[in-house]
Amino acid sequence: MRLADAPSLYAASADPVPVYPTLTEPVTADVAIIGGGFTGLSAALHLAERGVDAVVVEANSVGWGASGRNGGQLHSGQRRDQGWLESRFGRDDALRLWRLGEEAKALTLGLIARHRIDCDWRLGLIEAVHKPRLVAEERAYVDTLRDDYGYGAVEWLDREAVAAAIGTDCYHGGRLDNGAGHLDPLKFARGLARAAAGAGARIFEGSRATRVAKSGRWTVTTGKGSVAADIVLLAGNGYLDGIDDDTEAHVMPIDNYILATAPIGAGRPGGLIPSGAAVSDTRFVVYYFRPTADGRLLFGGGESYAPTERTDVAEFVTRHLLNVYPRLKGTKVDYAWGGRLAITMQRLPYIRRLRPGVYTAAGYSGQGVALAPFAGKLIADAIGGDTTRFDVFAGLPCPPFPGGRWLRYPALVAGMSWYALRDRL
């Protein structure tokens, strides 16, 4: 039976895909992976390619989580800019993290090419500046990337050039990154699943893990079956609820919302965003938007820090959309949906070996289109004995959220609301 996808433009427009069975019996594997998003599917693929017997248990359908619902923007670098990274870790480690970010981007693009994943990939991403006081700093960052990091794919766009590229004059300049871009994330997730299954990984949908326990080997118990394995990877990200206290203390789930308009010729000459680029801006609660392959505007903005999802998504996101494109007032919204990402205190991912045989990867803080498939590969490499890249991420500081798993929400709401207020000042 085909399980319901999370409602979104992506789910509504996707081609039929294979249905993976539900786990209904005890099975054994080398590695049990909880979660069938970018992280879990990439780990499964890279393990299977090494001849490791990997089983994915996915509570819903493949790509049901953030991976199949996100903005589809593939960014360069890490979620923190190089200046921030240099000030915390020094120039050498900042450079190492930049290069790993580039490897992550190349991995996503390489997977698309190698497995012929038709996911509407399009080059070009503009980081648009929403406050005049940020222009000098953002402009200087172009020079930093070009001169200090040897990244020539980036150029500065002044106010007029940004307006021409994206069809609104509300930004004060922007950084065009011709090495970044955008894609349809559900198509990418499903392509990863197809590649992983093709390489020999076993994928089970409708199979929520309810318990992870050790008795000799690790056992992951699901509703109707179980997986006994030497190694477990926790890849549930923002949806990993009640499975691992440690991961949940270090990452915070956040609901973020998107709408897609009716087709309006976006991304085409003479239409909105004629450059075809994706855009994300400098707000703390980022606005991100892009044209889709069928000429819609897909716009994300606005977050909720409450443990429950909001129900007025179209109205909520439209309020943000009109701050950028007032002329779209009255434009039909065909789809509106939310998804749950996970952030960390430092906005750097939480990738760890928690205890012998248990790995976790989560908290990509809005940078998971590049970093989540990469994390899956790094963990597959680490399991195979090459910990070089894994160790860099595992060594990044990631303090737990104040209040731990249960009390983290009130502290977060207070902190985030303050920053959201600053966006408006």
**Strands 174-182, 154-157: parallel, antiparallel or unpaired by DSSP?**
antiparallel
Using the minimum distance from each CB to ligand FAD, give the nearer residue, 136 or 419: 419
Q: What is the DSSP letter of 282?
A: S
Task: Please tell me whether residue 127 binds ligand FAD under the rule CB under 6 A.
Answer: no
- Residue 278 to residue 166: CA distance in whole angstroms: 9
Using the minimum distance from each CB to ligand FAD, give the nearer residue, 223 or 265: 223
Q: Using CB under 6 A, which of the segments 35-43, 139-147, 224-232, 316-324 binds ligand FAD?
A: 35-43
Task: Please tell me whether residue 317 binds ligand FAD under the rule CB under 6 A.
Answer: no
Residues within window 149-208 making contact with ligand FAD, judged by CB under 6 A: 208
The number of angstroms, rounded, from the C-alpha of 194 to the middle of its chain's C-alpha atoms is 19
> Residues 166, 271: contact at Cβ < 8 Å?
no
Residues within window 352-411 making contact with ligand FAD, judged by CB under 6 A: 362, 364, 366-370, 372
Dihedral (C-alpha) 104, 362, 32, 207: value to the nearest 10 degrees?
-120
The number of angstroms, rounded, from the C-alpha of 377 to the middle of its chain's C-alpha atoms is 15
Lookup: tokens for 74: 């593939």
Residue with tokens 């703390």: 284
Residues within window 42-81 making contact with ligand FAD, judged by CB under 6 A: 57-60, 64-67, 69-73, 75
**Strands 226-234, 26-34: parallel, antiparallel or unpaired by DSSP?**
parallel
Using the minimum distance from each CB to ligand FAD, give the nearer residue, 60 or 318: 60
Task: Please tell me whether residue 288 binds ligand FAD under the rule CB under 6 A.
Answer: yes
Q: Using CB under 6 A, which of the segments 34-42, 194-202, 312-320, 328-336 binds ligand FAD?
A: 34-42
Nearest residue to ligand FAD, using CB?
A: 368
Task: Please tell me whether residue 243 binds ligand FAD under the rule CB under 6 A.
Answer: yes
The single residue among 135, 192, 240, 348 that binds ligand FAD, judged by CB under 6 A, is 240
- Residue 369 to residue 376: CA distance in whole angstroms: 12
* Nearest partner of 268 among 413, 122, 419, judged by Cα: 122
Which residue blocks in 119-216 are alpha helix, DSSP H?
135-143, 159-166, 185-199
Q: Using CB under 6 A, which of the segments 85-93, 139-147, 164-172, 338-346 binds ligand FAD?
A: 338-346
Residues within window 82-121 making contact with ligand FAD, judged by CB under 6 A: none
* Nearest partner of 210 among 219, 221, 196, 195, judged by Cα: 221
* Per rule CB under 6 A, count of chain residues that contact ligand FAD: 45
Q: How far is the CB of 196 from ligand FAD (least distance, A)?
A: 12
Using the minimum distance from each CB to ligand FAD, give the nearer residue, 184 or 381: 184
Lookup: tokens for 369: 């289109």
Give contact residues for ligand FAD (rule: CB under 6 A): 34-40, 57-60, 64-67, 69-73, 75, 208-209, 235-240, 243, 256, 258, 288, 300, 339-341, 362, 364, 366-370, 372
